[in-house]
Amino acid sequence: MRIVSFMTPPQRGRAKLADKIVYNSKFVHYFFELTEPHEVPFLAGQYVSIKVTESGLRRSYSIASSPENTHGFELVLDVTPAGAGTKFLEALQFGQEVEILYPLGMFYLMDEPSEKSLVYVANGSGIVPFRSMLLDQLQLKNDKREITLHWGLRHEADLIWEDEFQELSESYPNFHFHPVISQPTPEWPLCQGRVTDCLATHEFEAEAGYYLCGSTTMIADVVTFLIQRGVTRQHIHHENFY
């Protein structure tokens, strides 16, 4: 991916918790409004670092919201690990402020002329930056390339944003969403197993860009899988902090 001149340098600031949605026992959606500074542009795919303890411990979270909103950001966490960052955010009261450093990260999508189509591959909370990218590429940039999203989860009950992704696929016929469930119920009609199992049922394009986000194991497996099928490393991108 190319570095662009308009990338905003990371800034220290503060943001307050404005809203929160508990989707299920796995995912919680947080909405933050910037208080200092009041506006910071970011690129879809970047992340924010939040101070979660008085001693200065920080945790990094991909931004889920569209870059159209420069006055705040949204985060979606998998709360099941119950780590320091999760406990800190769960204890926040509405209006309470957090110390932030953002935008950070080089995992953003560029208008690479060599990437004629885009394939996003995620598992678990790795879906978060792809939501931001999809809103950016489809709604803001009107990207006409074929864009395919594969998202792996253990259970159907863990799925979120199904309606949103369905609406995007109906509004933008070049977008295709494939949820993959590794421990499905007998009634699950779509892709089953690991994300590589679903990928194996699709054609591989030499000129596609593959963007991966999720567990280190998943990323390693998908990279190996793609390379074995002739995809060059030039067209495989992933965030380094995963």
CATH number at residue 63: 2.40.30.10
Which of 213, 163, 209, 158 is closest to 181 using CA atoms? Answer: 158
Report the distance separating Cα 56 and Cα 132, nearest Å: 28
Q: Which class for 33: exposed (0-12), middle (13-18), buried (19 or more C-beta within 10 A)?
A: middle
Look at residue 3 and tell me if it is in a domain: no
Report the distance separating Cα 81 and Cα 86, nearest Å: 8
Q: Which amino acid is at 123?
A: N
Q: Is the dihedral of CA 128, 228, 2, 114 positive or negative?
A: negative
Token pair recorded at residue 214: 């999720």
Residue stretches of the chain with pLDDT short of 70: 1-6, 111, 240-242
Look at residue 129 and tell me if it is in a domain: yes
pTM value is 0.93
Q: Is there a single domain that holds both residue 156 and residue 78?
A: no
Provide the pLDDT for residue 5: 40
> 215 lies in which domain range?
117-238
For residue 77, give every residue at least 6 positions away whose Cβ sits within 8 Å of its Cβ, in sequence order, or none. 27, 28, 30, 61, 85, 86, 89, 125
Provide the pLDDT for residue 135: 97
**How many domains does the structure of the chain reveal?**
2
Provide the pLDDT for residue 112: 72
